[in-house]
Amino acid sequence: MQNISVEEIKISIKRLPGHEDMPFPRYMTEKSAGMDIFAAVVQEEVIGPGERRMIPTGIMIAVPEGYEAQIRPRSGLAIKNGITLINSPGTIDADYRGEVNLLLVNHGSRPFIVKRGERIAQMVVQRVCRVLWDPCNTLDPTSRGSGGFGHTG
């Protein structure tokens, strides 16, 4: 087996006042791609079926230029409770310096209670590129062509 090196970058993180007890996002296993993020609610928040709530994390981050932080649902919450993110994946841009908030939605059939310190989403940091559009009159043909949704069966 080849030992593959994973790029590491430093990202500045700040806890907001009143949230000194909250853990920073963290990898839960050695090879996890995403870091779990924790709810920094002051008191329990109930999200009823079909409802959505903005849940604070108590942290602010400074994503370096050339990267983004993607906020993704946790699969366990999705399958067990129908809890996901309304804007999945959410993006934290390199120039955003506000609190990281999570937009949870309850697609389940029962109310869901968000507790302080609960793992409620994941954060994956990725490189980004900038697009330079190249206007043209025709595009290179492919075997798929303009086949869209359901095209491959």
Domain of residue 87, CATH code: 2.70.40.10
Q: Is residue 136 part of a domain?
A: no
What is the pLDDT, as a whole number, of residue 143? 85
Q: What are phi and psi of 78, to 5 degrees?
A: -65, -50
| Domain membership flag for residue 71 | yes
Quick check: is 65 in a domain? yes
Domain count, the chain: 1
Predicted confidence at residue 6, as pLDDT, reads 86
In a domain, 146, yes or no: no
Q: Is 145 helix (H, G, I), strand (E, B) or coil?
A: coil
Q: Give the H or E element holding residue 79.
A: helix 75-81
In a domain? residue 144: no
**99 within a domain of the structure (yes/no):** yes
> Which amino acid is present at 46?
V
Of 126, 125, 103, 120, nearest to 22 by C-alpha is 120
Expressed as residue numbers, the domain containing 47 is 31-127
Quote the pLDDT of residue 2: 74
Q: Is residue 89 part of a domain?
A: yes
pLDDT, residue 65, reads 96
Q: Measured between alpha carbons, how far is 39 from 58 in angstroms, rounded to an integer?
A: 8
Global confidence as pTM: 0.86
Output the tens digit of pLDDT for each of the chain's 153 residues. 677 788 899 999 999 999 999 999 999 999 999 999 999 999 999 999 999 999 999 999 999 999 999 999 999 999 999 999 999 899 999 999 999 999 999 999 999 999 999 999 999 999 999 999 999 999 999 888 887 777 666
Q: How far is CA 80 from CA 27, 52, 83, 118, in A?
A: 21, 17, 8, 15
49 domain residue, yes or no = yes
Q: Which residue is it, tokens 């779990």?
A: 36
